[in-house]
């Protein structure tokens, strides 16, 4: 578990990325919970509510990773499976002028 947390912290260093995740992750959990409730209540006509929450969550997290300069975790997994190059941590810019 400690390794997973270290990896997560390394991939989420930028304050804006962390802030967007602080909003996006609870929105994702709410969307998944709402989906379960709607399935149990057989409310297929309201499918767009959990889908909208889940999409909004991933949009926020995607924006955070764009700011950070690396790929989303799910994108990294897909790229690994496909043998593609991925960015798991942002490259830090070096200021050689100092």
* Tokens 């400690």 found at: 2
pLDDT, position 93 = 45
Q: What's the pTM? A: 0.80
pLDDT, position 88 = 81
pLDDT, position 92 = 52
pLDDT, position 62 = 94
pLDDT, position 91 = 57
pLDDT, position 23 = 97
Q: With a cut of 50, list the residues of the chain below it in pLDDT.
A: 93-98
**Is residue 8 classed as helix, strand or coil in its secondary structure?**
helix
Nearest to 72 by CA among 22, 11, 31: 11
27-44 burial: b if 16+ Cβ within 10 Å, else e: bbebbeebbeebeeeeee
CA diameter of the chain? 63
């Amino acid at each position: 578990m400690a390794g997973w947390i270290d990896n997560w912290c390394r991939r989420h260093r930028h304050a804006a990325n962390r802030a967007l995740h602080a909003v996006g992750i609870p929105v994702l959990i709410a969307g998944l919970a709402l989906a379960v409730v709607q399935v149990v209540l057989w409310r297929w006509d309201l499918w767009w509510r959990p889908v909208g929450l889940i999409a909004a969550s991933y949009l926020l997290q995607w924006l955070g990773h764009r700011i950070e300069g690396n790929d989303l975790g799910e994108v990294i997994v897909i790229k690994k499976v496909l043998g593609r190059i991925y960015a798991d941590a942002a490259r830090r810019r070096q200021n050689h002028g100092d």
